[in-house]
Every structure is written in structure tokens, then in C-alpha cells.
Chains A and B, each alone.
Chain A
Amino acid sequence: QQQVKQSPQSLIVQKGGIPIINCAYENTAFDYFPWYQQFPGKGPALLIAIRPDVSEKKEGRFTISFNKSAKQFSLHIMDSQPGDSATYFCAASKSGYNKLIFGAGTRLAVHP
């Protein structure tokens, strides 16, 4: 069963737009929620991560919003640029454990 559900599968925005990618999880034991960015031919790279004791975290143009009661978290990309075009994966893991449980990924295209 898929423990982390990610949507949408693909997303197209214009430069300057704010793409939003959503993830939902089932296991309340998860306490670490990273987002990974992957460019073609490269491996996933950690973009930003959050723990459930905060509802929002910002790093540059990237923001994670976290809703613990709804078991949902989302990635917002402010002022998106063509260079942000990539596949984005949300993930979750339990404290003390190491395996990351990934969503299926969102392919983002930012058009100039």
C-alpha cells in the first residue's frame, strides 16, 4: 500500500507562477518530511525538510506547509523559474528509522 500519496502527477506553470504540490500520509508515526528535487540524469537532491512541530518552513523561494491534523504537507515554489523544471518527490520517515517513504513524484515544467 502506498503510505505517501502525492499530487498532481504533472504540473505546468508560467514563469513567476506559484506551483503547489501536495502530499498526504497515513502513518502518524512519521516525524520527518523532506522534499527532494530531481533533474534529468541526476539523483534526487534534498531541497527542504520539515518536522511536525512547526506548520511552515521557508528556504529561499521554497516553502513547506504542514497540517498535522489533516496529515498533509505541501510544497510551494514562489516566483517559479524555468530552472525549477524538475521532478519533485515528497517523502516521510519515522524518527529512529532510516528508510524514506516516497510519493510517486510530480513532474514540474515552468514555461518562460
Chain B
Amino acid sequence: EAGVTQFPSHSVIEKGQTVTLRCDPISGHDNLYWYRRVMGKEIKFLLHFVKESKQDESGMPNNRFLAERTGGTYSTLKVQPAELEDSGVYFCASSQDSYSRNIQYFGAGTRLSVL
């Protein structure tokens, strides 16, 4: 069974540009999460989808970040316009259902470098 996949694995953009990250969760997983790790620091929660609905977006840093989950399947995270402090590794995770919602499976991440 395929795990959580993320595209691209690495993105380098100029300040002010737009970047879109994509996450494909494990098939059948209703819960999808986005996290971010800035170099050397903790992995920080950004938001959580249950199917296509945003359950918790308390970690989204500002309105330059927009997350969507089309039809409750894959999700995208758009950063527009990107700033230097947005650099880091963006992780996506998914989990199966409410009973096991703490067991989150992570993708390999997208490393975003804003120059």
C-alpha cells in the first residue's frame, strides 16, 4: 500500500513568488494534516482536514497560506507571496478514522527554500 506522498520534494523560489505543495494521503484516510519544521526547531502543526472540511487551522501562520482538500482526497498548500521566513520542511500526514486519529503517518516532506 502506498504511503503519504508529497510533491515536490524540494522547491526553491524567490521571495514574492507563489508555491503550491501537494499531498496525497494514504487511500481511505479521512484525516489529513499539514506540519512545518523550520531548521533545527520543532515540527509545528499548521492545520487539519477531516475529509474536505477544515477541522483545525489554528497553526496557519497568516493569510499568505491557503490550504485546500479537493473532494476529500489530495490536499494543496499554497504560499502566496512567499517570504524568507517561510523556508522549511513542510510535512503532510494522514490518519485513518476517529478511533485511531492519533496514529499519524507522515510523508517525506517538501523542502521549501525562499531566496
Residues of A at under 8 Å CB distance from B? 2, 4, 6, 32, 34, 36, 41-46, 49, 89, 91, 93, 97-105
Contact = CB atoms under 8 A, between A and B. Distances in A.
Given A44-B43, A102-B35, 5 more contacts: A34-B102, A43-B4, A45-B106, A98-B33, A100-B43
B71 interface: no
A98 B102 contact: yes
Contact of B56 (A49, A99, A102): A99
B55 to A, nearest CB: 7
A43 B61 CA distance: 22
A43 B45 contact: no
B108 interface: yes
Contact of B33 (A4, A89, A99, A105): A99
B107 A43 contact: yes
Given A98-B48, A98-B55, A98-B95, A46 B41 contact: no
Given A41-B108, A43-B108, A43-B109, A102 B42 contact: yes
